[in-house]
Structure 1
Amino acid sequence: MLLSLWRRWRRWRRGRPFWGGFFAILAGAEICALPLAPLKVMLQQGIAGIPSVLMGIVMIVLGLTAWFSPAQRSLAGVLTTLIATAALIMSNLGGFLIGTLLGILGGGLMFAWQPNATARRPSPGSSESPTPSEPPEPPSPTPTGTTPTGTPAHTDPQGAQP
Protein backbone atom coordinates (compact mmCIF):
# COMPACT_ATOMS: atom_id res chain seq x y z
CA MET A 1 0.00 0.00 0.00
CA LEU A 2 2.74 2.44 0.95
CA LEU A 3 4.70 1.51 -2.18
CA SER A 4 1.61 2.14 -4.31
CA LEU A 5 1.13 5.57 -2.74
CA TRP A 6 4.78 6.40 -3.32
CA ARG A 7 4.52 5.40 -6.99
CA ARG A 8 1.38 7.49 -7.48
CA TRP A 9 3.10 10.47 -5.82
CA ARG A 10 6.16 10.09 -8.04
CA ARG A 11 4.02 9.83 -11.19
CA TRP A 12 2.03 12.93 -10.17
CA ARG A 13 5.18 14.88 -9.29
CA ARG A 14 6.97 13.99 -12.53
CA GLY A 15 3.98 14.91 -14.68
CA ARG A 16 4.18 18.61 -13.83
CA PRO A 17 6.73 21.34 -13.00
CA PHE A 18 6.75 20.37 -9.34
CA TRP A 19 9.96 22.04 -8.21
CA GLY A 20 9.21 25.28 -10.03
CA GLY A 21 5.82 25.47 -8.33
CA PHE A 22 7.38 24.55 -5.00
CA PHE A 23 9.95 27.37 -5.20
CA ALA A 24 7.26 29.83 -6.33
CA ILE A 25 5.09 28.90 -3.33
CA LEU A 26 8.08 29.29 -0.99
CA ALA A 27 8.91 32.67 -2.52
CA GLY A 28 5.30 33.83 -2.21
CA ALA A 29 5.16 32.73 1.42
CA GLU A 30 8.42 34.55 2.18
CA ILE A 31 7.33 37.78 0.50
CA CYS A 32 3.85 37.57 2.00
CA ALA A 33 4.99 36.82 5.55
CA LEU A 34 7.48 39.66 5.98
CA PRO A 35 4.91 42.49 6.11
CA LEU A 36 3.29 40.62 8.97
CA ALA A 37 6.59 40.49 10.90
CA PRO A 38 7.36 42.76 13.88
CA LEU A 39 8.35 46.36 13.17
CA LYS A 40 12.03 45.73 13.99
CA VAL A 41 12.25 43.27 11.08
CA MET A 42 10.31 45.40 8.61
CA LEU A 43 11.93 47.99 6.35
CA GLN A 44 8.58 49.54 5.36
CA GLN A 45 5.36 49.78 7.29
CA GLY A 46 1.78 50.79 6.64
CA ILE A 47 0.21 50.91 3.21
CA ALA A 48 3.47 49.71 1.64
CA GLY A 49 2.83 46.25 3.12
CA ILE A 50 -0.28 45.69 0.97
CA PRO A 51 1.63 45.12 -2.32
CA SER A 52 3.85 42.63 -0.50
CA VAL A 53 0.92 40.57 0.68
CA LEU A 54 -0.78 40.73 -2.72
CA MET A 55 2.39 39.78 -4.62
CA GLY A 56 3.00 36.89 -2.24
CA ILE A 57 -0.54 35.59 -2.66
CA VAL A 58 -0.32 35.85 -6.46
CA MET A 59 3.00 33.96 -6.46
CA ILE A 60 1.48 31.21 -4.32
CA VAL A 61 -1.47 30.95 -6.73
CA LEU A 62 0.92 30.81 -9.71
CA GLY A 63 2.89 28.01 -8.06
CA LEU A 64 -0.33 26.07 -7.47
CA THR A 65 -1.36 26.76 -11.07
CA ALA A 66 1.85 25.14 -12.29
CA TRP A 67 1.06 22.08 -10.16
CA PHE A 68 -2.58 21.61 -11.04
CA SER A 69 -2.63 22.99 -14.59
CA PRO A 70 0.73 22.14 -16.19
CA ALA A 71 -0.47 23.42 -19.56
CA GLN A 72 -0.30 26.96 -18.13
CA ARG A 73 3.28 26.54 -16.90
CA SER A 74 4.82 29.01 -19.38
CA LEU A 75 2.55 31.88 -18.43
CA ALA A 76 2.85 31.06 -14.73
CA GLY A 77 6.65 30.94 -15.01
CA VAL A 78 6.92 34.29 -16.76
CA LEU A 79 4.51 35.99 -14.37
CA THR A 80 6.26 34.50 -11.33
CA THR A 81 9.61 35.81 -12.55
CA LEU A 82 8.17 39.27 -13.24
CA ILE A 83 6.44 39.48 -9.86
CA ALA A 84 9.55 38.25 -8.05
CA THR A 85 11.60 40.94 -9.78
CA ALA A 86 9.01 43.61 -8.94
CA ALA A 87 9.02 42.44 -5.32
CA LEU A 88 12.68 43.41 -5.12
CA ILE A 89 11.63 47.06 -5.38
CA MET A 90 8.14 47.02 -3.89
CA SER A 91 8.41 44.57 -1.03
CA ASN A 92 11.21 44.82 1.53
CA LEU A 93 13.91 44.00 -1.00
CA GLY A 94 11.87 41.04 -2.22
CA GLY A 95 11.67 39.28 1.12
CA PHE A 96 15.23 40.28 1.97
CA LEU A 97 16.36 38.93 -1.42
CA ILE A 98 15.38 35.37 -0.47
CA GLY A 99 11.86 35.67 -1.90
CA THR A 100 13.08 37.27 -5.11
CA LEU A 101 15.75 34.65 -5.72
CA LEU A 102 13.36 31.78 -4.97
CA GLY A 103 10.73 33.37 -7.24
CA ILE A 104 13.14 33.80 -10.14
CA LEU A 105 14.36 30.21 -9.70
CA GLY A 106 10.80 28.87 -9.50
CA GLY A 107 9.62 30.89 -12.48
CA GLY A 108 12.57 29.73 -14.55
CA LEU A 109 11.97 26.10 -13.62
CA MET A 110 8.28 26.38 -14.48
CA PHE A 111 8.99 27.99 -17.83
CA ALA A 112 11.72 25.51 -18.78
CA TRP A 113 9.88 22.34 -17.74
CA GLN A 114 8.77 20.06 -20.57
CA PRO A 115 6.61 16.95 -20.26
CA ASN A 116 8.46 13.72 -20.87
CA ALA A 117 7.24 12.72 -24.34
CA THR A 118 9.78 10.00 -25.02
CA ALA A 119 8.46 6.47 -25.13
CA ARG A 120 9.83 3.98 -22.65
CA ARG A 121 12.40 1.70 -24.16
CA PRO A 122 12.47 -1.97 -23.23
CA SER A 123 15.06 -2.85 -20.64
CA PRO A 124 18.09 -4.87 -21.79
CA GLY A 125 17.39 -8.56 -21.77
CA SER A 126 13.63 -8.24 -22.07
CA SER A 127 11.73 -10.16 -24.73
CA GLU A 128 10.21 -7.01 -26.21
CA SER A 129 11.66 -5.91 -29.50
CA PRO A 130 11.74 -2.28 -30.54
CA THR A 131 9.06 -1.27 -33.00
CA PRO A 132 10.32 -0.80 -36.54
CA SER A 133 10.52 2.78 -37.67
CA GLU A 134 8.39 4.03 -40.50
CA PRO A 135 9.99 4.39 -43.93
CA PRO A 136 11.02 7.93 -44.83
CA GLU A 137 8.57 9.98 -46.85
CA PRO A 138 9.41 10.50 -50.53
CA PRO A 139 10.65 13.98 -51.42
CA SER A 140 8.00 16.54 -52.25
CA PRO A 141 7.71 17.60 -55.93
CA THR A 142 7.25 21.26 -54.87
CA PRO A 143 10.29 23.50 -54.39
CA THR A 144 11.55 23.89 -50.83
CA GLY A 145 9.82 26.66 -48.94
CA THR A 146 6.57 26.62 -50.93
CA THR A 147 3.27 24.84 -50.55
CA PRO A 148 1.67 22.80 -53.38
CA THR A 149 -0.31 25.90 -54.38
CA GLY A 150 2.93 27.85 -54.88
CA THR A 151 2.52 30.17 -51.87
CA PRO A 152 5.47 30.54 -49.46
CA ALA A 153 5.42 28.08 -46.58
CA HIS A 154 4.98 29.40 -43.06
CA THR A 155 8.03 28.37 -41.03
CA ASP A 156 7.29 29.46 -37.48
CA PRO A 157 9.43 27.45 -35.03
CA GLN A 158 6.67 27.73 -32.41
CA GLY A 159 4.20 26.00 -34.71
CA ALA A 160 1.76 28.88 -35.00
CA GLN A 161 -0.59 28.84 -37.95
CA PRO A 162 -0.84 31.80 -40.37
Structure 2
Amino acid sequence: MSRGPREGVRPAFRQWRAGRPFWGGLLLALGGAEILLTLKASLDVILHVGMQGLAGYLLPVVMLLCGVLILFNPTQRLFYSVIGVLVSLGTWMTSNLGGFFVGLLLGVTGSCLAFGWLPDQEPRVSRRQRRKRARAAKTLSPTPARQA
Protein backbone atom coordinates (compact mmCIF):
# COMPACT_ATOMS: atom_id res chain seq x y z
CA MET A 1 0.00 0.00 0.00
CA SER A 2 1.35 3.40 -0.95
CA ARG A 3 1.60 6.24 1.52
CA GLY A 4 2.24 8.94 -1.08
CA PRO A 5 -0.18 11.69 0.02
CA ARG A 6 0.62 11.26 3.73
CA GLU A 7 4.34 11.73 3.23
CA GLY A 8 3.89 15.43 2.58
CA VAL A 9 1.71 16.27 5.60
CA ARG A 10 4.30 16.04 8.35
CA PRO A 11 7.06 17.97 6.53
CA ALA A 12 4.52 20.63 5.51
CA PHE A 13 3.37 21.01 9.12
CA ARG A 14 6.98 21.22 10.33
CA GLN A 15 7.72 23.95 7.80
CA TRP A 16 4.58 25.86 8.82
CA ARG A 17 5.46 25.48 12.50
CA ALA A 18 9.05 26.65 11.95
CA GLY A 19 7.87 29.96 10.50
CA ARG A 20 6.02 31.11 13.63
CA PRO A 21 6.28 31.04 17.43
CA PHE A 22 4.22 27.85 17.58
CA TRP A 23 4.83 26.75 21.17
CA GLY A 24 4.36 30.24 22.57
CA GLY A 25 1.02 30.73 20.83
CA LEU A 26 -0.13 27.24 21.74
CA LEU A 27 0.71 27.64 25.44
CA LEU A 28 -1.00 31.04 25.58
CA ALA A 29 -4.13 29.65 23.95
CA LEU A 30 -4.12 26.60 26.25
CA GLY A 31 -3.76 28.88 29.27
CA GLY A 32 -6.81 30.89 28.22
CA ALA A 33 -8.81 27.73 27.58
CA GLU A 34 -7.84 26.29 30.96
CA ILE A 35 -8.95 29.44 32.77
CA LEU A 36 -12.25 29.40 30.90
CA LEU A 37 -12.78 25.78 31.93
CA THR A 38 -12.09 26.53 35.60
CA LEU A 39 -14.70 29.28 35.48
CA LYS A 40 -17.26 26.61 34.56
CA ALA A 41 -16.32 24.45 37.57
CA SER A 42 -18.87 23.68 40.24
CA LEU A 43 -19.46 26.21 43.01
CA ASP A 44 -17.63 24.05 45.56
CA VAL A 45 -14.39 24.45 43.58
CA ILE A 46 -14.65 28.12 42.58
CA LEU A 47 -12.76 30.50 44.84
CA HIS A 48 -14.30 33.62 43.33
CA VAL A 49 -15.60 34.60 39.93
CA GLY A 50 -13.85 37.92 39.97
CA MET A 51 -14.28 41.57 40.71
CA GLN A 52 -16.92 41.74 38.01
CA GLY A 53 -18.41 38.74 36.26
CA LEU A 54 -17.60 40.05 32.79
CA ALA A 55 -13.88 40.54 33.49
CA GLY A 56 -13.62 36.93 34.66
CA TYR A 57 -14.71 35.77 31.20
CA LEU A 58 -13.23 38.57 29.10
CA LEU A 59 -9.57 38.16 30.07
CA PRO A 60 -9.30 34.42 29.30
CA VAL A 61 -11.04 35.00 25.97
CA VAL A 62 -8.46 37.69 25.16
CA MET A 63 -5.70 35.24 26.13
CA LEU A 64 -7.15 32.60 23.84
CA LEU A 65 -7.51 35.11 21.03
CA CYS A 66 -3.93 36.39 21.43
CA GLY A 67 -2.62 32.81 21.33
CA VAL A 68 -4.48 32.06 18.11
CA LEU A 69 -3.40 35.37 16.57
CA ILE A 70 0.23 34.62 17.42
CA LEU A 71 -0.10 31.33 15.57
CA PHE A 72 -1.73 32.75 12.45
CA ASN A 73 -0.22 36.27 12.34
CA PRO A 74 3.37 35.92 13.56
CA THR A 75 4.45 39.33 12.25
CA GLN A 76 2.54 41.00 15.10
CA ARG A 77 3.81 38.60 17.77
CA LEU A 78 5.40 41.32 19.91
CA PHE A 79 2.14 43.20 20.37
CA TYR A 80 0.11 40.05 21.00
CA SER A 81 2.64 38.65 23.45
CA VAL A 82 2.76 41.86 25.50
CA ILE A 83 -1.04 41.95 25.63
CA GLY A 84 -1.03 38.23 26.45
CA VAL A 85 1.32 38.55 29.42
CA LEU A 86 -0.59 41.54 30.83
CA VAL A 87 -3.91 39.77 30.49
CA SER A 88 -2.45 36.57 31.94
CA LEU A 89 -1.28 38.45 34.99
CA GLY A 90 -4.66 40.15 35.23
CA THR A 91 -6.44 36.81 35.48
CA TRP A 92 -4.87 36.32 38.88
CA MET A 93 -7.31 38.90 40.22
CA THR A 94 -10.35 38.13 38.09
CA SER A 95 -10.49 34.41 37.31
CA ASN A 96 -9.93 31.94 40.18
CA LEU A 97 -6.34 32.97 40.78
CA GLY A 98 -5.56 32.59 37.10
CA GLY A 99 -7.18 29.17 36.75
CA PHE A 100 -5.59 27.92 39.98
CA PHE A 101 -2.19 29.21 38.75
CA VAL A 102 -2.03 26.67 35.90
CA GLY A 103 -3.56 28.93 33.25
CA LEU A 104 -1.64 31.91 34.58
CA LEU A 105 1.70 30.09 34.27
CA LEU A 106 0.83 28.70 30.83
CA GLY A 107 -0.13 32.17 29.62
CA VAL A 108 2.96 33.93 30.96
CA THR A 109 5.28 31.20 29.66
CA GLY A 110 3.65 31.19 26.22
CA SER A 111 3.78 34.98 25.98
CA CYS A 112 7.46 35.01 26.91
CA LEU A 113 8.24 32.31 24.34
CA ALA A 114 6.40 34.25 21.64
CA PHE A 115 8.14 37.49 22.58
CA GLY A 116 11.59 35.91 22.45
CA TRP A 117 11.09 34.06 19.16
CA LEU A 118 13.42 35.14 16.33
CA PRO A 119 12.06 34.65 12.81
CA ASP A 120 15.38 34.88 10.95
CA GLN A 121 17.12 32.20 12.95
CA GLU A 122 18.28 29.09 11.12
CA PRO A 123 16.47 25.89 12.07
CA ARG A 124 18.22 23.83 14.71
CA VAL A 125 20.11 20.78 13.60
CA SER A 126 19.18 17.65 15.50
CA ARG A 127 21.74 15.85 17.62
CA ARG A 128 21.59 12.83 15.31
CA GLN A 129 22.47 14.94 12.28
CA ARG A 130 25.34 16.65 14.14
CA ARG A 131 26.77 13.24 15.10
CA LYS A 132 26.51 12.01 11.51
CA ARG A 133 28.33 15.08 10.26
CA ALA A 134 31.04 14.69 12.89
CA ARG A 135 31.56 11.02 11.97
CA ALA A 136 31.67 11.86 8.27
CA ALA A 137 34.19 14.62 8.88
CA LYS A 138 36.30 12.30 11.04
CA THR A 139 36.45 9.56 8.38
CA LEU A 140 37.17 11.97 5.54
CA SER A 141 39.97 13.90 7.22
CA PRO A 142 43.35 12.17 7.04
CA THR A 143 45.13 11.50 10.32
CA PRO A 144 48.34 13.49 10.66
CA ALA A 145 51.52 11.44 10.28
CA ARG A 146 53.58 11.03 13.39
CA GLN A 147 57.09 12.34 13.30
CA ALA A 148 59.76 10.20 14.84
- The yes-or-no answer on 1:81 pairing with 2:85 is yes
Q: Which structure has more helix as a fraction of its residues?
A: 2
Asked whether the equivalents of residues 50 and 96 of structure 2 are also in contact (C-alpha less than 8 Å), the reply is no
What are the superposed Cα offsets for residues 35-87 of structure 1, whole Å, 9 maximum, x if unpaired?
21110111114874421211111111101111111001001111111111111
- Correspondence for 1:21 among 8, 19, 25: 25
- The yes-or-no answer on 1:37 pairing with 2:60 is no
CA distance in 2, matches of 1:112, 1:28: 20
User: 2:76 matched to which residue of 1?
Assistant: 72
Runs of 4+ in 1 over 2 A off after TM superposition: 45-50, 116-119
Q: Percent identity?
A: 38
1 or 2 for the larger relative contact order (CA 8 Å, sep ≥6)? 2
Equivalent residues in 2 for 1:85-100, closer than 5 Å: 85-100=89-104
Unaligned runs of 5+ in 1: 126-162
RMSD of equivalent CA atoms: 2.1
- What letter is aligned with 2:55? P
Superposition TM-score, scaled by structure 1 size: 0.69
- The yes-or-no answer on 1:102 pairing with 2:106 is yes
Equivalent residues in 2 for 1:129-140, closer than 5 Å: none
